[in-house]
Amino acid sequence: MGRRINPTKNCFRWYHARPPWTLGCRGAWGRIGAATDRHRFYPTADHDDAERWAQALIRRNMKRGYQPMDAGGCETS
């Protein structure tokens, strides 16, 4: 889970990536405070593949400036 906040660019975004209970990885993202969000399901062959997909999504978003957060919505150090 992560977020990117840049008030000068009016950018208030969040994302969440995790391997779900089935074979695949679910990624979700949206604007902080918005009523709706977007999500995508990435089907995979097994749970290990889903875990790799989730880690790849997290790495990609970190490169885009997102900061990691814990489950309670607080930034981690």
Q: How confident is the model at residue 63 (pLDDT cuts 50, 70, 90)?
A: very high
Show me where the domains of the chain are located: 2-68
In this model, does residue 70 exceed pLDDT 70?
no
Q: How confident is the model at residue 26 (pLDDT cuts 50, 70, 90)?
A: confident
Residues 33-55: tens digit of each pLDDT: 888 889 888 888 888 888 888 88
Which H helix or E strand runs over 29? strand 24-31
- CA dist., res. 77 & res. 68, Å (int): 8
pTM to 2 decimals?
Answer: 0.69
- CA dist., res. 42 & res. 71, Å (int): 22
Q: Which of 21, 2, 17 is nearest to 67 (CA)?
A: 2
- CA dist., res. 24 & res. 30, Å (int): 20
